[in-house]
Homo-oligomer: A and B are copies of this chain.
Amino acid sequence: MLSHTEENYIKCIYQLSENELTKQVSTNEIADNLETTPASVSDMLKKLTQKNLINYIKYKGVTLSEQGITEALKIIRKHRLWEVFLVKHLNFAWDEVHEVAEQLEHIKSVLLIQRLDEFLDFPKFDPHGDPIPSQDGTIPIVQQIPISEVNIGDHGTVTGVNDASKALLQYLDKVGIQLNSTIEIIDIISFDQSVEIKIDHQKTLFISQEIAKNIYITTI
């Protein structure tokens, strides 16, 4: 059984190497990310090595072991399911959920998470569009493309945003774009590459190329 703190380290290492799990993560990166000192990280890395959760070579950085990845996915699954709950049922805004989910992800009960998953109707993505690992540790892979790279006439549903800044999330709220909104590409303005889209078969809207780059959709 992992301690609260060990879980945080494992999750941190996972996230710092998410795009390529073979990437060597450095002590300083982890220290910055967890807002602690490199000395503390060094100590913890030794401990996690003992528990076979990481592959660690002194001065060379770490990667997660098989077992470490499994643990990381469990934590991330819990985190993202709770985020869905907070947003869908407790009316939290996209940008308010993180701190609370950080705490909820450490609750230990297999039954709880199974039931929560069921209650939420087995969501595949969290409110930021990040995929929710399944109980057996598989991650749904979808072909996500930024709106800036699709063609006129294409359509799909919003499955993610690239930039988690409040400004973008607040803009999206304002114009009525949510996770799972359907998007249809009406026109692409050749002058500035801004895009005219139709949201949920209702209103149309022009978005700048900059914004189009940061909204990901899954075309069907």
State how many copies of this chain the complex holds.
Answer: 2
A93-117: CB near B (< 8 Å → 1, else 0) gives 0001001100110011101100110
- Contact residues in B for A104 (Cβ distance below 8 Å): 104, 107
Total contacting residues, chain A, CB less than 8 A: 19
Q: Is A119 an interface residue, CB under 8 A from the partner?
A: yes
Q: Is A92 an interface residue, CB under 8 A from the partner?
A: yes
Q: Which of A113-147 contact B (CB under 8 A)?
A: 115-116, 118-119
How far, in whole Å, are A116 and B108 apart by their CA atoms in the complex?
20
Q: Is A91 an interface residue, CB under 8 A from the partner?
A: yes
How far, in whole Å, are A108 and B99 apart by their CA atoms in the complex?
10
- Contact residues in B for A107 (Cβ distance below 8 Å): 100, 103-104
How far, in whole Å, are A104 and B105 apart by their CA atoms in the complex?
11
Within 8 Å by CB of A90, from B86, B99, B100, B119, lies: B119
- Contact residues in B for A109 (Cβ distance below 8 Å): 99-100, 103
How far, in whole Å, are A107 and B91 apart by their CA atoms in the complex?
18
- Contact residues in B for A115 (Cβ distance below 8 Å): 90-92
Within 8 Å by CB of A100, from B96, B100, B112, lies: B112
Contact A111 B89 (CB under 8 A): no
How far, in whole Å, are A168 and B104 apart by their CA atoms in the complex?
32
How far, in whole Å, are A111 and B91 apart by their CA atoms in the complex?
10
Enumerate chain A interface residues (CB-CB to B < 8 A): 86, 89-92, 96, 99-100, 103-104, 107-109, 111-112, 115-116, 118-119
Q: Which 10 A-B pairs have the closest CB atoms?
A: A90-B115, A100-B109, A103-B107, A100-B112, A90-B119, A89-B119, A104-B107, A91-B115, A90-B116, A103-B108
